[in-house]
Structure 1
Amino acid sequence: MRTARARGALAAALTLALSLAGCGDGGDGGGAGGSAGTGTVTVFAAASLTESFTRIGHDFEAAHPGTIVVFNFAGSSALATQINQGAPADVFASAAPATMATVTGAGNADGAPTTFVRNQLVIAVAKENPKGVGGLADLTRPGVTVALCAPQVPCGGAARTALDAAGVTLTPVTLEQDVRGALAKVRLGEVDAALVYRTDARAAAADVTGIEFPESARAVNDYPIAVLKDASNPAGGRAFVDHVRSDAGRAVLTQAGFQSP
């Protein structure tokens, strides 16, 4: 259950980060009591949605003058914890139903979440694939270093499911708290490969190559989205969710490589 003390502490900690992450350049920032699509709409979203939701946020602002969309992108499990501890947010978009369930189970969602996209894993390697990785079994070869997401993070759970489906056992050299952390290890040359979402590999196509593998079909993640019970701008939150699910929102997500649910 939320407490005033937890709400106050988390609100203070997040205020600066959230304000810097806003899509808009102006406005009074007031979202309380705002009509649909006006004021500030604060969205907590899985790190893998960064590029797509940033673009969708700009489109939403353009369609709703006077709106500022503020994002907090991170691992879904971390975001769920923040919400359940009282962090101020209007919308939560998770990379897995199980993570969303921790929010709905705590009574912090306003109604049932809706699945709006799906995502699938690839093996991210350096652009020229110098280690010749072609599938999951290649990740166990001597001298091949691998980054995975931590088990509690949706991309980590998906990776474990895919590896189990392939009968592959490997020891990663690092466990990251979100998919962008795992991808960064490849981009920086700190590991040879990482299991990341197809959309993240596509967004980083200038630096990495995404290797498809059949077992990823056993580990597809559904992405649910919900307006939060204690939203300061519930009307704006509902309008944002509607925009994400609109033809315009789906077009952005499809272009990024997300799949329809």
Structure 2
Amino acid sequence: MLSVAGFGAAALLALSACGPSDSDSSAGSSAPSASGDKKLSGTVTVFAAASLKESFTALGKKFEKAHPGTHVTFNFGGSDSLAAGITGGAPADVFAAASPKTMKTVTGAGAASGSPATFVRNRLEIATLPGNPDKVASLKDLTSSDLKVVLCDKAVPCGAAAQKALSAGKLTLTPVSYEQDVKSALTKVELKEADAAVVYRTDVKAAGEKVEGVDFPESADAVNDYPIALLKDAPNSAAAKAFIALVRSADGQKVLTGAGFLKP
């Protein structure tokens, strides 16, 4: 009987010892990852102002590298037309505008989720032909009838900013054409279809040796704030939030300021 009792006690101890171990193993298999975050995947669709093309393209590659399984697609263009597309139902996750006014078109329609955040600012510059053969030194010089000058359409942020700068200088300018976005205006100079254009300094920098930039003091009166927002009906809101976080992070700001943007 002592032998049987001893065997029973030993068996009870063995069961007691293995019980908690099995329980811990089961809990561990169902526990969330250390980060507590779901793995991001899928496509993030970003509608962004044309002037953000180079820097956002670089940030998109950074994002995809940091989050394997994701893909960032962009629709670059004039902020006003992008805003119209969003309010018209175009599927998108993020909107980055070149002015608060165009962002207000989206927020006013209830198409944004939460409040937009300003992430950079931008300033105007005159883009001339390489070497500045017409010796453009000021905004006033662009009023010469001998020059073919291009402006952005007044409805888009770069055009509205140009009008502010002209008003600050009490100047009147009749361009040979109004373009739908800043890249289109710059292209006219790159192709030598125009002698000069009023664009953003970031676009002049991105063009490299294709154009030459000329600063002018009136640009200080027409600095644009760039807001970014998560869209209310974002198909991939989790990845969209992560992309916005990258744009506003130290790494994102480094890319943007390197492209010539100003800190907010």
Under a length normalisation based on structure 2, what TM-score does the superposition of the two structures give?
0.85
2:141 is matched with which residue? Answer: 138
**Alignment pair present for 1:232 and 2:235:** yes
Equivalent pair of 1:35/1:236 in contact (CA under 8 Å): no
Tell me the amino acid that sits aligned with residue 226 of structure 2.
Y
1:252 is matched with which residue? Answer: 255
Q: Give 3-state SS (helix, strand or coil) of 2:133's partner.
A: coil
The match for 1:181 among 161, 165, 184 is: 184
Tell me the amino acid that sits aligned with residue 176 of structure 2.
V
Q: String of CA shifts for 1:42-75, please: whole Å, max 9, x gaps.
A: 0000000000000000001101111100100010
Report the Cα distance in structure 1 between the residues aligned to 2:40 and 2:146, rounded to whole angstroms: 52
Tell me the amino acid that sits aligned with residue 181 of structure 1.
S
Shift of 1:106: 0.1
2:69 is matched with which residue? Answer: 66
Q: String of CA shifts for 1:87-116, please: whole Å, max 9, x gaps.
A: 000000000000000000000000000000
2:90 is matched with which residue? Answer: 87
Residues 220, 37 of structure 1: alpha-carbon distance in 2 compared, 3 angstrom cutoff = farther
Larger radius of gyration: 2
Report the Cα distance in structure 2 between the residues aligned to 1:141 and 1:49, rounded to whole angstroms: 31
Report the Cα distance in structure 2 between the residues aligned to 1:128 and 1:203, rounded to whole angstroms: 17
Q: Give 3-state SS (helix, strand or coil) of 1:123's partner.
A: strand
Tell me the amino acid that sits aligned with residue 238 of structure 2.
A
Report the Cα distance in structure 2 between the residues aligned to 1:134 and 1:72, rounded to whole angstroms: 35
Corresponding pairs, count: 228
Q: Give 3-state SS (helix, strand or coil) of 1:111's partner.
A: strand
The match for 1:198 among 187, 195, 201 is: 201
Q: String of CA shifts for 1:151-200, please: whole Å, max 9, x gaps.
A: 10000000000000011101000000000010000001011110000000
Tell me the amino acid that sits aligned with residue 87 of structure 1.
A
Report the Cα distance in structure 1 between the residues aligned to 2:38 and 2:80, rounded to whole angstroms: 30
Under a length normalisation based on structure 1, what TM-score does the superposition of the two structures give?
0.86
Report the Cα distance in structure 2 between the residues aligned to 1:96 and 1:70, rounded to whole angstroms: 22
Q: Give 3-state SS (helix, strand or coil) of 2:114's partner.
A: coil
Equivalent pair of 1:44/1:72 in contact (CA under 8 Å): yes
Report the Cα distance in structure 2 between the residues aligned to 1:140 and 1:102, rounded to whole angstroms: 33
Equivalent pair of 1:122/1:211 in contact (CA under 8 Å): yes
Structure 1: 4+ residue segments shifted above 3 A: 34-37
The match for 1:119 among 108, 118, 122 is: 122
Show structure 1 runs of 5+ residues with no match: 1-33
Report the Cα distance in structure 2 between the residues aligned to 1:87 and 1:129, rounded to whole angstroms: 42
Alignment of 1:151-162 (within 5 A): 151-162=154-165
Shift of 1:142: 2.6
Q: Give 3-state SS (helix, strand or coil) of 1:168's partner.
A: coil
Shift of 1:36: 6.2
**Alignment pair present for 1:76 and 2:87:** no
Q: Give 3-state SS (helix, strand or coil) of 2:47's partner.
A: strand
Report the Cα distance in structure 2 between the residues aligned to 1:170 and 1:150, rounded to whole angstroms: 13
**Alignment pair present for 1:215 and 2:218:** yes
> Which structure shows the bigger proportion of residues in helix conformation?
2
Shift of 1:84: 0.3
Equivalent pair of 1:124/1:195 in contact (CA under 8 Å): yes
Tell me the amino acid that sits aligned with residue 59 of structure 1.
K
Report the RMSD for the aligned CA atoms in angstroms.
1.1
Shift of 1:141: 1.4
Report the Cα distance in structure 1 between the residues aligned to 2:64 and 2:82, rounded to whole angstroms: 23
Q: Give 3-state SS (helix, strand or coil) of 1:132's partner.
A: coil
Q: Give 3-state SS (helix, strand or coil) of 2:209's partner.
A: coil
